[in-house]
Amino acid sequence: MKKKKLKSYVLPSLIMIMIAGVFFLTAITSSLSSSDEDYSTYVSSIILEPDIAVINTSRKVINPYTDPNVTIGKNFYDYKGNAKDQEKSIIYHNDTYMQNSGIDFTSKNTFDVVSVLDGTVTDVKEDETLGKIVEIKHDNEYISIYQSLSETTVKKGDTVTQGQVIGKSGTNELDKDMGNHLHFEFYVNGQVVNPSLYLNKELKTDDSKE
C-alpha cells in the first residue's frame, strides 16, 4: 500500500486551528470567572452587608411620680403667662416673694418619686430650706432636680433608669404650707424651663452622644 503524504500547507493550518481553540477556551473560562467574582462581590456587598444601627431614637419624658392621686399644687412661673396664673406661681417665704422655678406636685400621702429619664445621679444632698435633693443628668444636656424629699434611695454616681424610684415626697421650710409634696425642676442646656413643656412629651435623643 502506498503511504499518503500530507501536503505542506495542511500541518500549519492544523496548528493554527489548535492555537485558536486554546485562546477561545481561555477567553470563555476568564469570562465565567470574572462573572462569578462580580456576582459574589454584589451579593456580599448588598445582601450580606451588616445592618446599619439606627442612631436617632425618640423617648417620652414621664411624670416624676406614679401615684394617680398626685396633683399639681403650684405651677412654674411663666413670664409670658397671664397675671392670674403668675400670681398662683409666686412663693412667699421670710417676707420675700419668689417666682416658682418648677412644678410642685402634692398629695395627702407620701408618694414615690421616680426619675423622668435614664441618667446619672450627679448630686444628693440635704438643705435646711429645700429638704433632701436629688439631681440627675440625662442625655443631650437635660437635668432634672427633685426637692422636698423625705428620703432618698440613690447616691451620687448611681446610674438610674427611667421610672426608677429615687426617693419619697416630703416637706420643706420653703413651702411649709403646701405640706407633703415634690418640687420638680427641669433644665435644658443649663437653663431652667417650664417642666410642663417636657413632661409626657417626646424627646429626640442621639445614641452616639452617650
Contacts for 108 with CB less than 8 Å, ≥ 6 apart: 69, 179, 180
pLDDT tens column, 51-79: 544 444 568 999 999 999 999 999 998 88
| Predicted local distance difference test score (pLDDT) of residue 56 | 47
Q: Report yes or no on 104 lying in a domain.
A: yes
Higher-scoring residue by pLDDT: 116, 53: 116
- In angstroms, how far is CA 168 from the centroid of its own chain? 26
Higher-scoring residue by pLDDT: 190, 28: 190
Tell me: do 63 and 45 sit in the same domain: no
Q: Report yes or no on 3 lying in a domain.
A: no
pLDDT tens column, 135-178: 999 999 999 999 999 999 999 999 999 999 999 999 999 888 89
Domains identified in the chain, total number: 2
Q: What pTM was estimated for this model as a whole? A: 0.70
Higher-scoring residue by pLDDT: 47, 8: 8
111 exposed, middle or buried (CB, 10 Å; 0-12, 13-18, 19+)? buried
Q: How confident is the model at residue 42 (pLDDT cuts 50, 70, 90)?
A: very low
Higher-scoring residue by pLDDT: 1, 93: 93
What is the arithmetic mean of pLDDT over 10-39?
56
**Maximum distance among all alpha carbons in the chain?**
142
Distances (CA, A) of 140 to 60, 74, 180, 195, 203: 14, 27, 32, 16, 10
Q: Report yes or no on 114 lying in a domain.
A: yes
Tell me: do 65 and 144 sit in the same domain: yes
Percent of the chain with pLDDT over 90: 54
| Predicted local distance difference test score (pLDDT) of residue 48 | 44
Tell me: do 85 and 186 sit in the same domain: yes
Give SS3 for 62: coil
Tell me: do 183 and 82 sit in the same domain: yes
Tell me: do 20 and 95 sit in the same domain: no
Helix (H) or strand (E) holding 43: helix 10-46
What is the arithmetic mean of pLDDT over 173-191?
93
Tell me: do 41 and 120 sit in the same domain: no
Distances (CA, A) of 5 to 8, 9, 18, 98: 9, 12, 21, 125
pLDDT higher than 90, residue 116: yes
Distances (CA, A) of 62 to 24, 31, 148, 176: 74, 63, 19, 26
Tell me: do 104 and 196 sit in the same domain: yes
Tell me: do 29 and 105 sit in the same domain: no
Tell me: do 43 and 77 sit in the same domain: no
| Predicted local distance difference test score (pLDDT) of residue 80 | 82
pLDDT higher than 60, residue 9: no
Tell me: do 203 and 101 sit in the same domain: yes
Q: Mean pLDDT, the chain, as a whole number?
A: 81
pLDDT higher than 90, residue 197: yes
Tell me the C-alpha distance between 23 and 90, whole Å: 95
| Predicted local distance difference test score (pLDDT) of residue 210 | 36
**Burial 166-204, CB ≥16 within 10 A → b, else e:** bbbbbbbebbeebebbbbbbbbeeeeebbbeebbeeebe
The range of the structural domain enclosing residue 63 comes to 57-209
Tell me: do 99 and 196 sit in the same domain: yes
pLDDT higher than 70, residue 93: yes
